[in-house]
Amino acid sequence: MTALMTASCSKNEVSDINNFDADAIGFELSTGKTRAVVSNLGAIQSDAAGFGVYATNGTSAAMFIENKAYKYDAGEWKWEGQKNTWPKWPADETGFPIHFYAYYPLSSASSLNSALTHEYTIAATPAAQTDFLAANRKDVIARPGSSNVNLNFTHILSKIDFAVVKATNVAVELQSIAVNSVGNKRTFNFADLDWLAQPVAWGDKYNFMKAPAVAANKFEGDDTGGVVQGSDGSLMLMPQDLDGRAWEDWKIASLDAKSHIAVVYRVNERENGADILGYADATKHPDYEEKGNGITGGLFLKVAYSLDTNWGKSKAYTYSVYLGAPGASGGILIDDMFYDKDGNRTELPVIDPNTEEPLDPEKPIVDTEKPIGFVVDVEEWGRSVNNDLL
């Protein structure tokens, strides 16, 4: 089972204004601030490319400003190019109103159509994903006294992170976490600062953390949980409604058609190290001699959790995965073979370390509906001892 926490944008950071051409159009910037911001005002200022700007005005159907870069350079905000080519304020009222549209980073929306929309695709590699920011300021009917227009940038993607919650008497080692079969392409409307319709493409898989896992993702202290360290930071994914893409009946064959979170992990007792789920030492598997192929390290099982939430624009989500905790299902087993420490599928079947019985694919690792039961055994009688009566 998973628990979900969200955080929306709050607080603003406002830039210093130092545009040294009084006639040029300038901007005063602020950015919405999420839990663990990835792109903020400092990021925009330190980016030599700056951010992109489009603008239309009331007297022309054509772009008034068409994808010009505005950047912070040597302590000053300025437009890209020669000073005499910088966009200037209209000389009379026929040039108003002006509608400004901006985005960051500069590579995110380099071409807007006449409807001021842009089709955006999430990068397949998490390391290449960016925190896409957008802003607009419409209906500017006169030149401001400072010549600067306020632009409040907002995060327009959904930020995804993970945490682990466990019982205090167990240790958990995570090997990988992935968000699979979610939408990756959608059209953004800069006029409304919102996404249009649902994603037009589905099925991408995003590794939040991948094997070999970092040591920080071993949870073995007295605390009941902790933040999972992503291999490339937070996932920046497409806002979307995943209702209806969750499993009713779990079938491994249909994994790619339904949205889910896949987790590869193992659990052992914290005090004595006894294996509970998976193995700390692959050589302890009863089939190791025949099928181990010389692998070393631990054996991990692969499970999935159904994903049927609604990701909102500019929201940060943390999925808390309960492992080895009371009431936790442990996830649905989606592979009947263990994985090694490097993330490779082995030929060693997934079994219960205590009973050495196979675990059932497409079923929860832990059946939380089972009543308390006992494994019953009776010791044989020992040798009889005759006592002499004196």
Q: What is the pLDDT of residue 113?
A: 76
Sign of the CA dihedral 84, 87, 92, 94?
positive
* Residue 20 clears pLDDT 60, i.e. is over it: no
Residue owning tokens 């099982």: 301
Token duo for residue 173: 């080692």
Chain segment 74-92, per-residue pLDDT in tens = 888 999 999 999 999 998 8
- Identify the band that residue 16 occupies on the pLDDT scale cut at 50, 70 and 90: very low
Token duo for residue 1: 């089972």
pTM: 0.86
Best-predicted range by mean pLDDT (158-167, 294-303, 315-324): 294-303
Q: What is the pLDDT of residue 373?
A: 61
CB 317 within 8 A of CB 2: no
* Residue 331 clears pLDDT 60, i.e. is over it: yes
Token duo for residue 4: 């979900």
* Residue 15 clears pLDDT 60, i.e. is over it: no
Q: What are the C-alpha distances in Å from 122 to residues 57, 106, 237, 238?
A: 31, 15, 6, 7
> Taking residues 27-37, what's their average pLDDT?
53
* Residue 319 clears pLDDT 60, i.e. is over it: yes
* Residue 157 clears pLDDT 70, i.e. is over it: yes
Using alpha carbons only, give the angle 339, 159, 308 rounded to the nearest 5 degrees.
70
Q: Nearest 10 degrees: CA dihedral of 34, 310, 134, 42?
A: 20
Q: What are the C-alpha distances in Å from 129 to residues 160, 208, 238, 291?
A: 12, 12, 11, 39
To the nearest whole number, what is the mean pLDDT of the chain? 85
- Identify the band that residue 339 occupies on the pLDDT scale cut at 50, 70 and 90: very high
φ and ψ at 290, to 5 degrees? -85, -35
- Identify the band that residue 35 occupies on the pLDDT scale cut at 50, 70 and 90: very low
Distance CA 350, CA 265 (A): 12
Q: Which of 306, 310, 331, 126 is nearest to 208 (CA)?
A: 126
> Residue 217: is it exposed, middle or buried by C-beta count within 10 angstroms (0-12/13-18/19+)?
buried
Domain 8-155 falls under CATH 2.60.40: yes
Chain centroid, CA 2 distance in Å: 15
Chain segment 340-364, per-residue pLDDT in tens = 999 999 999 999 999 999 999 988 9
Contacts for 122 with CB less than 8 Å, ≥ 6 apart = 129, 157, 184, 185, 204, 206, 236, 237, 238
Q: What is the pLDDT of residue 200?
A: 81
Residue-range domain boundaries for the chain: 8-155, 158-349
Chain segment 245-291, per-residue pLDDT in tens = 877 777 888 888 889 999 999 999 999 999 999 999 999 999 999 99
Q: What is the pLDDT of residue 284?
A: 98
The DSSP line for 250-262 is: --GGGGGGS-EEE
Which helix (H) or strand (E) element contains residue 292?
none
Chain centroid, CA 365 distance in Å: 24
Token duo for residue 343: 């993330």
Q: What is the pLDDT of residue 18?
A: 33
